[in-house]
Structure 1
Amino acid sequence: MKGERNRSSCKHARTRRKETPMTGNGTAAQTKERVDWVDYAKGICIIMVVMMHSVLGVEAAAGQTGFMHYVVEFAKPFRMPDFFLLSGLFLPLVINRDWRTYLDRKVVHFAYFYVLWVTIQFGFKAPAFAAEFGWPGVVRLWLMSFIDPFGTLWFIYLLPVFFVVIKATRRIPSWAVWGTAAALEMTHISTGWTLIDEFAARFVYIYSGYLFASYVFAWSNRARAYPGWTLAVIALWAVVNGGLVHTGISEWPIVSLALGLAGAGAIIAAGTLLAKMRWLDTLRYCGEHSIVIYLAFFLPMAASRTILLKAGLIQDIGLVSLIVTIAGVAGAVLIWWACRNTRANFLFERPDAFWIAPKKPAPTVQAAAE
């Protein structure tokens, strides 16, 4: 019954037709129905993720902080929770697929891009690693990245794990799964292993997207119907979130979970209003290509950071951080544009050899690159 309600909500959400370069099941250039506000919300999320890595990287290299640091701190409670919640939102549409198809779309797809891009990242970082650990150490670190996710790619690594766990636990009462996931988040586990720590901290959000999809779509519909009230709610949330971050209370158990869910709701509402007004179309475009940006932003981000800091032409670290953020997002899109119609398109499109199920696009509403 829950799954049927979720499917109905997805189907009745406002959609548009759009060409997608890389959908959740890996097919390229296929016309899919898309939910407009999801693209806007994912656009906000991916920019915040790039911003976090850009700002913290610049500040670490420069040894000082800038005004962008406060933006990153404000977004910390909800930046990744929202991304994971959106990733689980359309899972009810595919959860009943046979295991072979499900694993192809939800595991092999992301595994291919993780293996490829973690190897690319190691290629760029190998000289520095070799200087510190020696070349045998580089190989050891690369092999370890398949046990515990490496660097910025941990999100791509963790998604397939979550998808398998959600399908495997369908026979367990949903309240028990959600309650356990919430308890894990509130324990703030810190073992030093990214897989364990991030699983505990994030699973509740992707499971919430899956479990409460119908309520999420209802919230979006209400936000679209009452924009004035929605703006007031977003403003109130921003004040409360900012205050709790400033005082450090945002890190407390229960509070962190509440802020993660509330922040996700605020971003969904903001995305809905932007979609309603058709404003900031660039943001929507980033959401459509969120995985493309996530995979490739590290290179233009690192390059622009190095150039700007060594040149020393801009003294304001906040401004440098902002420019590096823009360069990371725009540079990733440019890399994809340069590769998409060439033999290098394997960087963003899974080749036929890496499919374990037939390419049969599902006639369902799809978000930008699940």
Structure 2
Amino acid sequence: MTTPVRARIDWVDRARALSILMVVLLHARIELAFLGATSPTIEFIVNFASTMRMPLFFAASGLFAVSWVERRSWREVFSRKLMLLLWVFLIWQPVVFAYKVAEMLFLPEQPDNTLGTQLAKVALSPFRPNGELWFLWALALFFVLAKLTARTPIWIRVGIPALFSVVWMSVASSVPEGVLRIVGDGWEGALKYYVFFAAAVAFSPRILRFYNEARRVTLLALLTVWLILGGLTSLGIISMGFPGGRFVLCVLGVAGGFALARLLSGVPGLARIGSNTLPVYVAHIPIIVAGTVALFLLGAAPAIRNAAGVSIVLLAAVAVAGAWWVHRGLIRSRAGSLMYAPPARLVRWASRARDEASPRP
């Protein structure tokens, strides 16, 4: 008999939706910047949101991970969670290779790169995550780390990851760009963000109870603290450059993000997006790159530059809608559905292996 997975909670799903929407906006801004389209307003929003974007996603994921970490067997975690995350990460690597090559061949202002380098990145992706899908690799790693340490004291489960996060966030800005590119987004993200996943797992009952019961004035206060400190920092009015300052802003970003998710209960569609973020996460970047390349080849770069802010927002919206459309189209076929989940035969094999390994009564 299996332990039921924690039921979905709308405000946690809305938090995940907020995260993915911020990620899509970031990537639309990055790609259109290759065409010279920059918007001070979008730039401010993207930089300001950086202390909420990924910390909020991993914290929300941690809230839903408790039953997997604390009550599921290793075999069940492997067959139901790790296999899904790693399968999707690997099956989309050819797509990552394709859009990276498209960027290299067609878009101006690209970093120095070669076809051989792109092939090497794909080959090494299980060890050094390649492309914007690093979060899938990181989530798999986070599940393993959280389960390995599930019975250890809180200072090991949360304290040590917090120390790594504080140290890395404090020194990352001084690390040469070349070194950061070697380390890669996956390892850098794991160092910075694992603590938010681990803390959410460790304190899940308290977090859920607090936000479920919090009054509107409390939620507004939490959001306001992040808005003020984050805004003043982004504007350069105050500095949070001291050791641990960035980490404090990320903690406030998570607290404010959960509060905002509760406050947005009347916004339709957010919870639905957050309950199934995978289609948007994996497909939005190929759509953004394809759209940017098409605009460049059609000679639309001057028009895009003249309306940069609107163009970035529109491209982000098209990417979200397009990712859902691609998902709906692919899952109708057996081959297409493999882009979002491992083969049923493989899952059944893993489940049977688990059951056969369990002691008979």
Per the shorter chain, which TM-score range? 0.7 to 0.9
Choose which of 182, 198, 217 in structure 1 pairs with 2:208: 217
- Of 55, 63, 72, 1:97 maps to 72
Contact 2:280 2:320 in 1 (8 A): yes
**Residue in structure 2 matching 1:249, options 215, 239, 245:** 239
Give the superposition deviation at 1:295: 0.6
Offset from partner CA, 1:33-59 (integer Å, 9 cap, x none): 421111111111110011111112212
Residues 296, 273 of structure 1: alpha-carbon distance in 2 compared, 3 angstrom cutoff = same
1:71-220, aligned counterparts within 5 Å?
71-95=45-69, 96-126=71-101, 136-188=116-168, 190=172, 191-192=179-180, 193-194=183-184, 195-220=186-211
CA contact (8 A) 1:69 1:318 kept: no
1:306 aligns with 2:293: yes
- The alpha-carbon deviation at position 63 of structure 1 amounts to 6.1
What residue identity is the alignment partner of 1:351?
P
| 1:307-350, Cα deviation, whole Å (9 max, x unpaired) | 44532434121111111111111111111121222231222233
Spell out the pairing of 1:318-329 with structure 2 (5 A cutoff).
Answer: 318-329=309-320
Query: Corresponding residue for 2:27?
Result: 53
Cα distance in 2, alignment partners of residues 284 and 114 from structure 1: 24
1:133/1:162 CA distance change after superposition, 3 Å: same
Residues 253, 330 of structure 1: CA spacing in aligned structure 2 closer, same or farther, 3 A cutoff? farther
Cα 1:78/1:127, change in 2 over 3 Å: closer
CA contact (8 A) 2:11 2:261 kept: yes
Distance 2:162 2:121 in 1: 32
Q: Does 1:345 align with 2:337?
A: yes
Paired AA for residue 137 in structure 2? Y
- Percent identity over the alignment? 24
Match of 1:43 in 2: 17
Task: Work out the CA distance in 2 between the residues paired with 1:42 and 1:133.
Answer: 33
What amino acid does structure 2 have at the position aligned with 1:291?
Answer: L
Bigger relative contact order, structure 1 or 2, given CA contacts below 8 A and separation 6+?
A: 1
Distance 1:230 1:126 in 2: 45
User: Quick check: 2:48–2:230 contact (8 Å CA) kept in 1?
Assistant: yes
Q: Secondary structure at the match of 2:8?
A: strand
Shift of 1:280: 1.8
1:229-308 → structure 2 map (5 Å cutoff): 229-247=218-236, 249-275=239-265, 279-308=266-295
CA spacing shift, 1:251–1:209, aligned 2, 3 Å:
farther
Aligned-residue offset at 1:129: 5.8
Give the gaps of 5 or more residues in structure 1: 1-6, 12-32, 360-370
Find the aligned partners of 1:263 and 1:234 in 2 and give their Cα distance.
8
Equivalent pair of 1:109/1:350 in contact (CA under 8 Å): yes
- Secondary structure of 1:146's counterpart equals coil
Question: Whole-Å Cα distance in 2 between the matches of residues 293 and 128 of structure 1?
Answer: 20
Question: Match of 2:325?
Answer: 334
Task: Quote the Cα distance in structure 1 between the aligned partners of 2:284 and 2:329.
Answer: 14
| Conserved? CA contact 1:89–1:213, under 8 Å | yes
**Residue 36 of structure 2 corresponds to residue 62 of structure 1:** yes
Alpha-carbon offset, residue 176 of structure 1: 2.6
Q: Given the superposition, is the C-alpha separation of residues 139 and 87 from structure 1 closer, same or farther in structure 2, using an over 3 Å criterion?
A: same
2: CA distance, partners of 1:321 / 1:136: 31
Distance in 1 (CA, whole Å) between partners of 2:128 and 2:241 is: 24
- Taking the aligned partners of 1:113 and 1:64, their CA distance within structure 2 comes to 32
Give the alignment's Cα RMSD to 1 decimal: 2.5
- Secondary structure of 2:350's counterpart equals coil
**d(CA) in 1 for partners of 2:116 and 2:31?**
27
Give the counterpart letter for 1:334 in structure 2: W
Classify 1:201/1:319 alpha carbon distance in 2 versus 1 (closer, same or farther; 3 Å).
same
1:87 positional shift: 1.1
What displacement does 1:358 show?
A: 2.5
TM-score for the superposition, normalised by structure 1: 0.80
Offset of residue 170 of structure 1: 2.4
Does the 8 Å contact 1:77/1:250 carry over to 2? no
Give the distance between the partners of 1:250 and 1:117, measured in 2 at CA: 38
